[in-house]
Amino acid sequence: MANLDDEIPVQAWLSYRCKDDLAKVRRDELKAACGEQDIWLVYDESDAKEGTHLIEFMEDLTSARCVFIFLAPNYFESSYTLFELVCIHERDDLSRRFVLPMRLSDDMVTYERTRAKQFWDNNEGIRNELQRLLKTYRVAEDASHEAIWQRIDAAWHGVVFPYLDELHQSLEAGVPEPLLVDRVKDLEFEVKKVVQEVADNLKNRIVREITHLLDDEYLPKALFLRELSQRGESHGSRNIAISLVEGEVGDSIGLLTRVMEKHQVRASAKQEEWISSLDDAKQLCGWLLINTVSPVWWFQHELRWKQAVKQGESMLLSLDNAAYAEVIVSRSVVQPAVYELDQSSQQVKTPYQIEDESLIFDAISEGAPEQQIFIELYKIVLKRDPPAGLSSDKMLENIYQRAHSHFKRDKNKPVYYLISYPLFSVLKDIPAFQKAEQKLAGYLQFICCDQNPKGYEYSPCQEDQHLLLDQVALLLSMQPE
């Protein structure tokens, strides 16, 4: 298996009871075993079970690609670990994730689900808190106690029960450290195999696309070959493409820009030919940028990203430059990132961005905040102001129709824009949007960018985002007025 040379560590999350002393000991042993395999174990150390921080942490855990679960009787006596178990089980992509339950003790062999049911029936506080969590943070048509127990029972049979046999030794019956080390080694091997396969497939796709662009004959292959001569490359579009993809992306974009600057001098008399050539160069640049996304980062976020797009949810990205969100979206649908140049600043524009500062809400008129937000959405998606007096429902219907048309035209790429969490919270509370949200799902994507990531988050880009986008701006600046 090839070395990924990725600076981002593979992450594995741990679902367990923080108040369990034995679980804490095994947690530290698991952390040490993960560290030996360059895996970062992420877990909650706090016994405090309040506030949005914990909820965000549990949301990240339940959507993670790799999750360890420490099974003990008291795991089923907490509304928070039950919330994690139910949400892990109910993910559509469960079969594509690495969920690894491990029994802390032999008690779990004889621990019947009826004991969990008895505890559930006898503890109203646990039932009410899990009900609150599921109603608040998960869509649940029936949030009655009995309906929630059925979901717990399904998770028991789907996730827990297969690991309650003699083939799966408990960490008490066997020697804990060797068992943990073996499990972690297996995980590391399987994860890196998947990551490498995905990275290789993407690289091959990008090479094919760049080869097609070079074969169109609008791009000057002779100039590429001259620039690449020091690398000892042989002739041919595919060899040029391989050389560009295998190099540092910043270096390859710099080479592309130099080629186009030289070509511009030759092609200036043929305006239409130059425009076609530059269009191909911008597409080539877009494909190169997609290759900057860390394969490990993509592995860890891919499923959550795709579910967010499918459900029309907002997606938090930790980025150095918000405009780089274009690369992540393009990566998700495997088509080149496309940028525009801000003529005033000569920098890359942030795509589809609502300027929150411009939304000064009228607090007197009924429905004013919703009207102002929908007007901004309308202008972004339809590229014009809405007719005077157009209702919120009608604006949303027009937004949906145009977003759907863009989706079909752009090979299943959603319309998206950047938005702050405070503004998105306002949007989510508007009844008209709540009704339209499911219809808009998959066509309209909200992205919230954060330059202050959590302690376990990494930027997806393997190279400096600001420098890359500045190089893109140089290429875009050659576009005729």
Residue range 144-161, pLDDT digits in tens: 889 999 999 999 999 999
Q: Whole-angstrom Cα distance, residue 468 to residue 9? A: 23
Return the higher-pLDDT residue of 234 and 435: 435
Q: Please report the pLDDT score of residue 344 as a whole number.
A: 86
How many CA atoms lie within 13 Å of 10's alpha carbon, on the beta-carbon side? 27
72 in Cβ contact with 38 (< 8 Å): no
Task: Please say whether the beta carbons of 72 and 104 come within 8 A.
Answer: yes
Q: What is the pLDDT of residue 465?
A: 93
> In angstroms, rounded to a whole number, what is the distance separating the alpha carbons of residues 148 and 161?
18
DSSP 3-state of 34: helix
Residues 6+ away with beta carbon under 8 Å from 401: none
The residue ranking higher by pLDDT, 85 or 420, is 85
Residue 469 near residue 347 (C-beta atoms within 8 A): yes
Q: Which residues pair with 70 in a beta bridge?
A: 102
Encode pLDDT of 317-343 as tens digits: 888 888 898 899 889 888 899 888 988
- Residue 231's pLDDT band, with cuts at 50, 70 and 90, is low
Query: Is the pLDDT at 98 greater than 90, yes or no?
Result: yes
* pLDDT attached to residue 357: 41
Average pLDDT over residues 451-475: 89
d(CA 435, CA 373): 16
Bridge partners for 415 per DSSP: 444
> 82: part of which helix (H) or strand (E)?
helix 79-89
- Given a cut of 50, is residue 172 above it in pLDDT? yes
Q: Are 371 and 434 in contact (CB under 8 A)?
A: no
How high is the pLDDT of residue 107? 82
Helix (H) or strand (E) holding 471: helix 465-476
pLDDT-based confidence at residue 366 (cuts at 50, 70, 90): low
Q: Which residues pair with residue 423 across a beta bridge?
A: none
Question: Is 363 a residue whose pLDDT tops 60?
Answer: no
Rounded average pLDDT over 445-452:
78
What distance lies between CA 455 and its chain's CA centroid? Answer: 17
Q: What pLDDT does 475 receive?
A: 94
The DSSP secondary-structure symbol of 293 reads B
Q: Which ranges of 101-219 would DSSP assign to H, the alpha helix?
A: 107-110, 113-122, 124-137, 145-155, 176-215
Query: Does residue 102 register a pLDDT over 90?
Result: yes
Percent of all residues in the chain with a pLDDT value above 90, rounded to a whole number: 46
* Residue 347 reports pLDDT greater than 50: yes
Average pLDDT of every residue of the chain: 85
The answer to whether 228 and 214 are in contact (CB under 8 A) is no
